[in-house]
Structure 1
């Protein structure tokens, strides 16, 4: 497997270890012998936040403690999204951890002081497991590619059950995710976000294709808009799986909202087809992973919500992904796709 690291920025890990040790001494005032080691960037994932794995060790109250940790640092210059939702990312993970319905890494500490690591950050527990990474594509090589169809079936079912479990957490428990004005929740909130995303991209260059796509989507506005919390990047590549092929943790909550139940399902179905479906752009179909119809049926059963009208949300997913692709192209100075390809993808003339 490739050792490619995809990260917005990297730093000297020895220096980071020293800073974290000093910081932990303030968070653990009764501890002695604090050490931080085994620092590493996750392999094959992570494009918007600097994320570093580490292990912490200390003694306290006559006992030796060891804690696997992950530090996630708020981005400064490499900003993929227009909305700063770093605090909300931590808050939704804490809510999910406290609720116990969705398996997430438990947040341990949040630090607002930017002088320590250059920006705000939070530390969460490190889970043990395997992730279907995007680089290299998991459908072409790696543990999921090498698994049996029966094992992949367990992966799929566990993933969809966790995806649907998010919808069992009441939106009233996440008021910190509300938008502003008339876009406080529901489709209006997600729509407002991506209208602003488009305007943000236009600060660099005009986006006529995105404008045409917005108009097309608005003209076909869906009637079905069930309430629900949005995870934001719903795919198995943002899930960690144990040796039993079941979900250990749902990760990367960097763009959450109260935008409605169908956004995550649409994103999940779209990415599943792209990454490992029968029409995979990676040219690799993984037998055992559920079909779109099976995914929708299981999601409806577990969530208790209807997926009627999902097709519109899948079209909106393509729009969202294109916005992100355009932004990454701006950051890297290399367009992710040409205008003709964008028009075909977004079905605009």
Structure 2
């Protein structure tokens, strides 16, 4: 499989090792002989935040310690989203880790445990946080996991296990009580569908400050005219896909990753996002990958999700259309940042059903 580093920014990792060692010493009272080693960028994933893996080794008295860590740095110039939710990203992961209990608990959302948050930009150039490093395999998007790599090479039965475990985690997120997560509410305290709607209206306006995009306005008008009746409460992960999950050798979920756009927007946003991307990457209508036997169909995913959450998926088609709008906004923004041509307007109109 090809190894591709995808990172918005990179830096001298040897220099960073020294800085992180000094910073970490202040957070590990009694640590002696602290060394930071094996710094690297993740391969095949991570397009919005600079994310760096490293190992920390030290002694406390005669006892050796070794911890695998991940540092995630707040974006500087390469900002994909208009809403700054870096603090909320750390806080929701911390809350989920504290609720999680044992990793074997199917009711637990399996996240990497956040360890430290640093809001001083003077250390690494911007605020950052450090979390524990999980060990496993990720179905990466670059190159698409359905075209090459370990998931393509797996058997249909193994893929079936992976799919079921992924949907179980998707459902576990919707069983998380939202009490105590008020820090995820919108700028004016909004929750539910209004919160997600407001976020992406702001996104569309932000994009149109760069260039007029009437197709986005038309898509918003269409969605608003078809406003869904079913608006179940729930936590929004924000980028719900198997490419943001890590799996062990038994195809069980080790960690749910990339919580950079969380909200209290409601249960159906993540299910819709998951279904749209699954179809795109490995479903019957795959455009970036190829169909993979064993992966559940949209209908099977929805049925299992409803069974596990006890929530209705009524009006899911509307949320899938909204997910396509969100993905279109993200694609336009990434093209702006990379200086590459944006999506074809006619293709956008067809995708957003305003052609």
Pair in the same fold by TM > 0.5: yes
Which residue of the other structure, out of 170, 186, 189, is the alignment partner of 1:163? 170
State whether structure 2 residue 267 is matched by structure 1 residue 261: yes
Structure 1 segments, 4+ long, off by >2 Å, are none
Deviations 1:65-114 (A, max 9, x none): 00000000000100000010000000010111111110000001111111
Q: What runs of 5+ residues in structure 2 fail to find an aligned partner?
A: 101-107
Assess, with a 3 A threshold, how the Cα gap between structure 1 residues 14 and 98 changes in structure 2: closer, same or farther.
same
* Paired residue secondary structure (1:173): coil
Give the distance between the partners of 2:310 and 2:36, measured in 1 at CA: 44
Deviations 1:5-34 (A, max 9, x none): 111000000011111101011111211100
Give the distance between the partners of 2:231 and 2:180, measured in 1 at CA: 19
Give the distance between the partners of 1:18 and 1:92, measured in 2 at CA: 29
When the two structures are superposed, what TM-score results if normalisation uses the length of structure 1? Answer: 0.98
Aligned to 1:290: 296
**Structure 2 contact 247–254 (Cα < 8 Å) conserved:** yes
Query: What are the residue-to-residue correspondences of 1:72-87 with 2, within 5 Å?
Result: 72-87=72-87
**Structure 2 contact 145–289 (Cα < 8 Å) conserved:** no
When the two chains are superposed, the root-mean-square deviation of aligned CA atoms in Å is: 0.9
State whether structure 2 residue 196 is matched by structure 1 residue 190: yes
Deviations 1:15-68 (A, max 9, x none): 111111010111112111000001110000000000000000011143110000
> How far 1:175 moved relative to its partner?
0.7
> How far 1:207 moved relative to its partner?
1.4
Assess, with a 3 A threshold, how the Cα gap between structure 1 residues 245 and 65 changes in structure 2: closer, same or farther.
same
When the two structures are superposed, what TM-score results if normalisation uses the length of structure 2? Answer: 0.97
Which residue of the other structure, out of 229, 239, 247, is the alignment partner of 2:245? 239
**Structure 2 contact 207–333 (Cα < 8 Å) conserved:** yes
Deviations 1:145-198 (A, max 9, x none): 0000000001000000001100111111211101133x6110000000000001
Aligned to 1:280: 286
Query: What are the residue-to-residue correspondences of 1:124-143 with 2, within 5 Å?
Result: 124-143=131-150
Query: What are the residue-to-residue correspondences of 1:73-222 with 2, within 5 Å?
Result: 73-100=73-100, 101-181=108-188, 184-222=190-228
Deviations 1:108-154 (A, max 9, x none): 11111111100100000000000000011000000000000000001
Q: What runs of 5+ residues in structure 1 fail to find an aligned partner?
A: none
* Paired residue secondary structure (2:90): helix
